[in-house]
């Protein structure tokens, strides 16, 4: 998929929970992810987002999600900046709105793994760039996409 088409398809989109997406959007992401998986296995370059810089904020510890995100971002040509909450002013009382606006100025997107779902919703409210939920107490849409990929690969569909 040409980079311009991918950028336009996802421009201004947040991925916070399946409940916010329609079936067509979910199936598009699954199919695109399967295509990226094939490219990765074949060692075929697919740096469609080369030059972008994304913040990766992990308020909850992670092994698989963090490594999968950072590897996928690298494969797409994205530079990631790993952020720890204890290094941010938000831990010392800075309003989330101010942190989100600052992220929006410096980064092309935010990947966040946090506690309450209202936190990712608040970041999405104040950022124009995409916010991707890497896990909250309500949803784990990136894991859901991986599950749907496995079902499609193993069963050929979802019925």
- List the one residue out of 77, 93, 74 whose CA is nearest residue 85: 93
SS3 per-residue string spanning 53-114: EEEEEECCCCCHHHHHHHHHHHHCCCEEEEECHHHCHHHHCCCHHHHHHHHHHHCCEEEEEC
The mean pLDDT value of the chain amounts to 91
- pLDDT at position 1 over 60: no
Intra-chain end-to-end CA distance of the chain, in Å? 27
Asked whether the beta carbons of 34 and 153 are under 8 A apart, the reply is yes
Asked whether the beta carbons of 80 and 69 are under 8 A apart, the reply is yes
Look up the pTM and report it. Answer: 0.90
Mean pLDDT of 40-44: 96
CA distances from 133 to 1, 102, 137 (A): 24, 18, 11
Report the alpha-carbon distance of residue 118 to residue 114 in Å, rounded: 10
Residue with tokens 């971002």: 73
Query: Tell me: the pLDDT tens digits for 80-104?
Result: 999 988 888 776 778 999 999 999 9
């Amino acid at each position: 998929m040409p980079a311009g088409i991918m950028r336009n398809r996802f421009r201004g989109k947040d991925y916070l929970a399946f409940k916010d997406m329609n079936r067509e959007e979910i199936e598009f992401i699954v199919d695109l992810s399967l295509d990226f998986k094939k490219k990765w296995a074949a060692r075929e370059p697919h740096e469609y987002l080369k030059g972008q810089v994304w913040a990766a904020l992990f308020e909850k510890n992670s092994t698989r999600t963090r490594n999968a995100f950072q590897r996928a971002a690298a494969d797409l040509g994205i530079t990631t900046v790993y952020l720890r909450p204890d290094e941010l002013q938000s831990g010392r009382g800075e309003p989330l709105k101010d942190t989100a606006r600052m992220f929006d100025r410096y980064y092309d997107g935010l990947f966040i793994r946090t506690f309450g779902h209202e936190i990712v919703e608040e970041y999405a409210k104040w950022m124009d760039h995409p916010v991707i939920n890497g896990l909250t107490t309500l949803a784990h849409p990136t894991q859901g996409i991986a599950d749907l990929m496995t079902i499609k690969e193993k069963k050929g569909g979802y019925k």
